[in-house]
Amino acid sequence: MRTKIVAGNWKMNKTLQETVTLINELKNLLNPHNNVEVIIAPPFVNLPKAVELLQDFPIKVAAQNMHFADSGAYTGEVSAGMLKAIGVDTVILGHSERRAYFNETADMLQKKAHKAYEKSMTNIFCVGEKLKEREAGKHFDVVESQIADALFQLPLQAYKKIVIAYEPVWAIGTGQTATPDQAQEMHRFIRETLAKKYGRDLANAIRILYGGSVKPGNAAEIFSKPDVDGGLIGGASLKAQDFNAIVEAAKS
Ligand code: PEP
């Protein structure tokens, strides 16, 4: 059985003080459960505080991005080694906002995925098609190439620390969710794509999260689909009660 994951992507939200408040609210509300792994990804500057506040509580802390180089003249960037040094060993890579607004290319993501593997970091790797691509019937091709371009150079053992997040771009922050059947269809396709390349065992073991306007009201139905192993949550991860309700939905 695959343990579900509920991961909160805070994006560029919450000051240091607000981070402390939200984490304390989560610690009060969340009722940890062996069947669900909970992750939050605050902005870089608030990661050390998040790690400190959560050292005795089963919520993992992730970064929202990292650079592929170890160090050097990359103004404004943060390396895998820097994250590990503060106790962060999970990173979200390839989020559609990074691809769209910061021009992250397949080549960059391949290097980042390789760096995450080299540094033994868990890589929550985001894929997903744009609305135009879905309307043109190209969504499977798009997602397959996003996975192949960034991840297929990696050896099988790298996948112990890879989680795929399927996030249709048209559903992120729009209030428009993929139907549970649309999510299931793509998750199954992703699993089959991985099975063809790496074999059935790997495909059966990898966790595939759905992301895109998941809310307390729709989480349970989406998570009930057989190939959906939890969610990557944006907006609703900023409210402790909503995030807690989504974690609860993953338990059932
Ligand atoms: C996301 O940014 O990963 C996301 C899924 O956002 P939202 O839940 O707000 O659609």
Supply the pLDDT for residue 212. Answer: 95
Does residue 252 surpass a pLDDT of 80?
A: no
CATH of the domain at 105: 3.20.20.70
0.75 cut: is pTM over it?
yes
Q: How many domains does the chain have?
A: 1
Q: Is the dihedral of CA 166, 242, 27, 11 positive or negative?
A: positive
State yes or no: is 114 an active-site residue: no
pLDDT (tens digit per residue) in 197-250: 999 999 999 999 999 999 999 999 999 999 999 999 999 999 999 999 999 999
Supply the pLDDT for residue 211. Answer: 97
Q: Which residues line ligand 1 (CB under 6 A)?
A: 9, 167, 172-173, 211-214, 232-236
Supply the pLDDT for residue 175. Answer: 83
In degrees, to the nearest 5, what angle opens at C-alpha 152 toward C-alphas 114 and 191? 120
Given the residues 67, 95, 139, 187, select the one marked as catalytic: 95
pLDDT (tens digit per residue) in 158-167: 999 999 999 9
Instruction: State the residue for tokens 């997903």.
Output: 128
199 CB contacts (<8 Å, ≥6 apart)?
A: 156
Given the residues 37, 104, 167, 248, select the one marked as catalytic: 167
Q: What is the dihedral of CA 127, 245, 43, 63, to 10 degrees?
A: -50
Q: Do the beta carbons of residue 59 and residue 38 sit within 8 Å?
A: yes
What is the domain extent for residue 159? 4-251
Strand partners, 211: 232
